[in-house]
Amino acid sequence: MAAACGGSTAPTPPPPPVEDPPKITCPAPLTIQLTGTATTATATYTPTVVNGKAPVTLSCTPPSGSSFGRGQSTVNCTATDALQRSSPCAFTVTVTDPPKLTQTRFVSFGDSITAGEDGIDGGPNTSFLCVPTVTSTGGIRQRVILPDAQTYPGQLQTKLTQRYAAQSPTVLKRGCPGEFAAPATLPSATRARFDAIVSTGQYDVVLIMEGSNDLDAPVYSDPVGSAAAALRSFVTDAKSVGMKPLLATIPPMNPAGRRGSGAAKVTQLNDRIQQIAGIEAVPLVDVYAAFNGNLTLLGDDGLHPNVDGYAVIAKAFSDVITSTFEVKTAPVLSFRRR
């Protein structure tokens, strides 16, 4: 035999490599906000697993797709390979209450922009007040008001209802076509209308956006100063009866439109409006900034927004309402799932 004759033996093959043990990585903590009247939320998750001898099994308690109640719960996951080597990890799932508002009764006060005029109608300007539609006869401009759902108060109502379904907030539209903000002193038809609305006790917050008509067809030697003084009087009157005012800048105007003659004065009035909000310490809704110079959001007359423009206004108000009146609460801790 070869071995007996001094031959060499065959080398022993090396053992097969052993895979590294499994390593599991859990997801980052999850936070889920309940919606509407729901009391539980479903959470889905998939930890990441590397290495291990196949097959590697993954299990989580509770499993992905489970329902979680309010508070914070712990999910424990384990990866186990064919050699029964395991790697654990854990993470938390926190379920918070649906968003809520401290105030839910809103009323929007303003001119035809608040009323929802479409900016497409033609003819000369009129001073008709608070008339939804005026038939075009004898040179009187026909006012076409959009359906409520397309106006800024209507679109704002939809946004608030969707986000705060458990509370059903309301936005009442009180726009008065053709109205001027000025004068600030009483007696003033506009101020009297404003005071009649805020003094009823039916609303928590008044949304104030007015002054465009003062610039488009000024009847005062200082239309900017007169409108600003009137807007400040609205703010102080609201505060005096315990209402919370939100003061908005007015949208831009298109000087190329037949009713955009006040375009050059818009920023002047808006600067004054921002000053008033600071002095009176009330939230500012910067509608002008929200338009971001996009004049395609205005109708043909260069004054009134179109439906998309009203959506921009609604979002601007919605964002400030959320930041100002949404309840900020810490999550409630509950039992830990194992």
pLDDT by residue (tens digit) across 67-85?
Answer: 999 999 999 999 999 999 9
Q: Which two tokens stand for residue 129?
A: 């007040």
Work out the percent of the chain whose per-residue pLDDT is above 70: 87
Amino acid 271: pLDDT: 98
Where in the chain are the domains? 23-96, 105-325
Between these two residues, 197 and 216, which has the higher pLDDT value? 197
Work out the percent of the chain whose per-residue pLDDT is above 90: 75
Provide the CATH number for the domain formed by 105-325 in this structure.
Answer: 3.40.50.1110
Q: Is there a contact between 273 and 249 (Cβ–Cβ < 8 Å)?
A: yes
Which amino acid, residue 253?
A: M
277: Cβ–Cβ under 8 A, 6 or more apart, which residues? 247, 283, 284
CA distance linking residue 206 with residue 336, whole number of Å: 44
pLDDT by residue (tens digit) across 254-308?
Answer: 999 989 999 999 999 999 999 999 999 999 999 999 999 999 999 999 999 999 9
CA distance linking residue 90 with residue 86, whole number of Å: 14
- Is pLDDT above 80 for 180? yes
- The helix/strand/coil state of 197 is helix
Between these two residues, 152 and 13, which has the higher pLDDT value? 152
- Architecture of the CATH domain 23-96: Sandwich (2.60)
Count of Cβ atoms closer than 10 Å to residue 94 Cβ: 20
User: For 200-204, what is the mean pLDDT?
Assistant: 96
Q: Is there a contact between 214 and 174 (Cβ–Cβ < 8 Å)?
A: no
pLDDT by residue (tens digit) across 216-267?
Answer: 766 788 999 999 999 999 999 999 999 999 999 999 999 999 899 999 999 9
Q: Is there a contact between 181 and 227 (Cβ–Cβ < 8 Å)?
A: yes
pLDDT by residue (tens digit) across 113-146?
Answer: 999 998 875 544 444 446 443 333 444 455 678 9
Q: What is the mean pLDDT of the chain?
A: 89
Amino acid 132: pLDDT: 40
CA distance linking residue 254 with residue 294, whole number of Å: 10
Amino acid 12: pLDDT: 79
CA distance linking residue 333 with residue 327, whole number of Å: 18
- Is pLDDT above 90 for 330? no
- Is pLDDT above 90 for 324? yes
Between these two residues, 8 and 214, which has the higher pLDDT value? 214
Q: Is there a contact between 39 and 334 (Cβ–Cβ < 8 Å)?
A: no
Which amino acid, residue 156?
A: L
pTM recorded for the entire structure: 0.77
- Is pLDDT above 70 for 187? yes
Phi, psi (degrees; rounded to nearest 5) at 76 = -110, 130
